[in-house]
């Protein structure tokens, strides 16, 4: 008797193979897309956190080293300090300002252009300075990532180092 088995792949076997391959590819591509989104979200969270930390450190440093809060130009969204740092020539006291410039926190030295202390990747949602007596300031801020729906709020209180 002759064996009539044909060698090769049938049409049904080919369809099953392609179906399994398509399912595996869909799972792999979905996983890669999810990983990319998670990476972007984590990066955005880190950038917002770093900007909040930079702002708190810079403003805290200048507050601790300042001579006094300069009342005539201090408002709830702007902090002005009288300081001995960054003195212009022939001056004995200078003024420093922290405020919002173009949706970013900026630092301005007297008679100079403002310097951004937060990156262009974040924008300020909220910035408030509350003077708590003669030598303490509470700062509240909230930053949001420009491209992602990530934000972080922080509040900190700083005291001036007045050694009299």
Q: Which of 63, 145, 154 is nearest to 104 (CA)?
A: 145
Residue 4: the pLDDT is 62
* pLDDT for the residue 49: 96
pLDDT of the residue at 7: 74
In tens digits, the chain (164 residues) has pLDDT values of 556 666 778 899 999 999 999 999 999 999 999 999 999 999 999 999 999 999 999 999 999 989 999 988 888 999 999 999 888 888 899 999 999 999 999 999 988 999 999 999 999 999 999 988 878 899 999 999 999 999 999 999 999 876 55
Instruction: Look at the block and give the residue holding tokens 């001995």.
Output: 84
The answer to whether residues 55 and 128 touch, using CB atoms and an 8 Å cutoff, is: no
pTM, two decimals, is 0.80
Q: How far apart are CA 158 and CA 109, in angstroms?
A: 20
Res 1: pLDDT: 52
Q: What sign does the CA torsion over 36, 41, 45, 51 have?
A: positive
Q: Confirm if 61 and 121 have CB atoms less than 8 A apart.
A: no
Residue 154: name the closest of 57, 23, 16 by CA: 57
The predicted pLDDT at position 32 comes to 97
**What single string gives the DSSP state of each residue in 18-66?**
HHHHHHHHHHHHHHHHHHHHHHHHHHHHHHHHHHHHHHHHHHHHHHHH-
Per-residue model confidence (pLDDT) at position 90 = 85
Measured distance between the N- and C-terminal CA atoms of the chain, rounded to whole angstroms: 115
What count of other Cβ atoms lies within 10 Å of the Cβ of residue 127? 20
In terms of phi and psi (left: phi > 0; alpha: psi -120 to 50; beta: otherwise), the region of 103 is: left
Residue 149: which of 3, 17, 16, 37 has the closest Cα?
37
């Amino acid at each position: 008797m002759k064996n009539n088995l044909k060698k090769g792949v049938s049409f049904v076997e080919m369809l099953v193979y392609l179906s399994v391959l398509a399912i595996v590819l869909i799972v792999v591509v979905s996983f890669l897309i999810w990983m990319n989104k998670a990476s972007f979200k984590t990066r955005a969270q880190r950038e917002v956190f770093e900007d909040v930390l930079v702002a708190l450190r810079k403003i805290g440093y200048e507050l601790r080293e300042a001579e006094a809060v300069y009342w005539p130009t201090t408002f709830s969204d702007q902090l002005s300090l009288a300081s001995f740092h960054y003195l212009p020539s022939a001056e004995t006291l200078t003024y420093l300002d922290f405020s919002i410039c173009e949706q970013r926190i900026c630092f301005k030295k007297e008679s100079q252009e403002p310097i951004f202390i937060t990156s262009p990747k974040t924008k300020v949602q909220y910035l408030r300075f509350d003077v708590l007596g003669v030598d303490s300031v509470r700062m509240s801020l909230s930053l949001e990532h420009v491209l992602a729906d990530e934000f972080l709020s922080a509040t900190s209180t700083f005291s001036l180092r007045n050694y009299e």
